[in-house]
Amino acid sequence: MSDSIFSRIIRGEVPCHRVYEDELTIAFLDVNPVAPGHTLVVPKEPAVTLAELSDGSAAALGKVLPRICRAVCKATGATAYNILQNNGVAAHQVVEHVHFHVIPKTDSQGLGINWRPGPLNPEAGAELGRKIARLL
């Protein structure tokens, strides 16, 4: 459980540019946007990472995320956008409270991605796929 800046925003102790709120979620503009319209969608449950989140909060987030994407695109004129969701310091998570970034993408602004993909080994992939499936 976390008591981060986002918990303080949820409790109304810290101001934000709120765009949406319901019983389980809140969304507000990122204070340091990567592009205009950069919005954070946050469960009110104070889980640190997505894997710790309850099914109820996860469902609420899943329901509202597409609506917020549509509104952000309409408001900014963006036709492309990224969803970013960081878990853990090594994965660039700074605020220890689950949040989804909705980031409009234009030619000059938005999320930059520096992937270094490699081919999936068929045997290792089959084994790892089975291992993950067994754990679900």
Residues that bind ligand AMP (CB under 6 A): 5, 14, 16, 28, 30-32, 40, 86, 92-95
Q: What is the smallest separation between the CB atom of 133 and ligand AMP, expressed in angstroms?
A: 28
Of 12 and 122, CB closest to ligand AMP: 12
H or E element at residue 71? helix 55-76
Of 69 and 127, CB closest to ligand AMP: 69
Which DSSP string corresponds to 62-124?
Answer: HHHHHHHHHHHHHHH--SEEEEE---SGGGT--SSS--EEEEEE-SSSS--------PPPHHH
Of 93 and 109, CB closest to ligand AMP: 93
Query: Which positions are catalytic?
Result: 99
